[in-house]
Amino acid sequence: PSYIQDRIDMWDRLKVEYDQEVARKVPEDIVVTLPDGKEVQAQSWRTTPYDIAMGISFGLADNTVICKVNNVLWDLERPLEESCKLELLKFDSPEAEQVFWHSSAHILGEAMERMYGGYLCYGPPIESGFYYDMHMPNTQVSNIDFPVVENIMQSIVKERQPFERLEMKKEDLLEMFKYNEFKQRILNEKVTTPTTTVYRCGSLIDLCRGPHIRHTGKVKAFKITKNSATYWEGKSDAESLQRIYGIAFPDNKKMKEWQKFQEEAAKRDHRKLGREQELYFFHELSPGSCFFQPRGAHIYNKLIEFIRSEYRKRGFQEVVTP
């Protein structure tokens, strides 16, 4: 889509101005305090958390997903601005996991723009991965598309595209995203400050508070898990969107562990077990409420008997309500 190059041209111009502004800042000596109490000498506007991590060991720097500066999540490549407390987080930290999946969502978003050319909406991390919504009124996502989107994502990962942060004025952002009605709504309805941030990886530039992983190459394993249709901000009278879900990890071992867990969970799916063991079935006559078969009714009644015996032990009495 033509909007991609227009977006990049504006980014390039404003990024040069921002970099020049940072370069003009006079660095001062600062002290960075690590969780073990060790103090590291650094320079404001020059030293990054990644520099600090590399000063300790390459292994630590390589395995760090994100960091916290004075308890605030912070990009590893973003210069420190003052003396601070620094905490380096690996993937086993819940906060780092969410950042990792958020960055993976941006990789998916870039792939979706290349594949479908629609208009991206929201792309957050969730409890078990991430998703991205896109408005494409004349196209529907199919699971047949998954391998193609994954191949595009793989090329993005191989390019090791850096995640870059840029703070922009609201009026500039409205110009940058003039092609996207949904980003316009976010800017006009939710951004209440004179400036906010965007992040870039490759051809994707998106409204985002961040922070993000250092580059796309940190995502070693990923998979598109499913797709669905949804509505803008969950409102049934709003525009219909296409949503793609995914999962990603910093190594293949974690992906295999996740896949194994999914396989085991599928075996224990109550809908599958209920059907196979002739416990109950569902019918359109009673959506959301099952019909118990003899075996299922036997289990159901045993559970009721147990609950009633516990009531009596604790001095409770039953009532029946309408």
Q: Are residues 203 and 300 in the same domain?
A: no
255 membership: H or E segment, kind and range: helix 252-267
Predicted pLDDT at 128: 92
Q: Are residues 125 and 186 in the same domain?
A: yes
Predicted pLDDT at 124: 96
For residue 203, report the phi and psi dihedrals to the nearest 5 degrees: -85, -10
Q: Are residues 108 and 185 in the same domain?
A: yes
Q: Are residues 45 and 172 in the same domain?
A: no
Angle between helix 94-116 and helix 146-158 axes, rounded to 10 deg? 110
Predicted pLDDT at 285: 85
Predicted pLDDT at 275: 84
Give a yes or no: residue 129 inside a domain.
yes
- Stated pTM of the model: 0.86
Q: Are residues 128 and 148 in the same domain?
A: yes
Using CA atoms of 19, 25, 27, 28 in order, give the dihedral in degrees to the nearest 10: -140
Q: What share of the chain is helix, strand, coil (3-state, %, to 5)?
A: 45, 25, 30
User: Rg of the chain over CA atoms, in angstroms?
Assistant: 25
DSSP code at position 137: T
Predicted pLDDT at 266: 82
Q: Are residues 73 and 205 in the same domain?
A: no
Q: Are residues 67 and 195 in the same domain?
A: no
Predicted pLDDT at 287: 82
Buried b (16+ CB within 10 A) or exposed e, 270-285: eeeebeeeebbeeeee
Q: Are residues 105 and 248 in the same domain?
A: yes
User: For the chain, how many residues are written?
Assistant: 322
Predicted pLDDT at 138: 87
Predicted pLDDT at 63: 97
Give a yes or no: residue 8 inside a domain.
no
Residue numbers of the domain that contains 299: 280-310
In total, how many domains does the chain have? 3
Predicted pLDDT at 270: 82
Q: Are residues 105 and 246 in the same domain?
A: yes
Distance CA 4, CA 23 (A): 28
Q: Are residues 185 and 107 in the same domain?
A: yes
List, run by run, the mean pLDDT of 10-residue segments along the chain (322 residues): 94 96 95 97 97 97 98 98 98 98 98 96 96 94 96 98 97 96 96 96 96 98 96 93 98 96 86 85 85 93 93 92 91
CATH number at residue 87: 3.10.20.30
Q: Are residues 147 and 247 in the same domain?
A: yes
Helix (H, G, I), strand (E, B) or coil at 54: helix
Identify the domain boundary among 236, 254, 272: 254
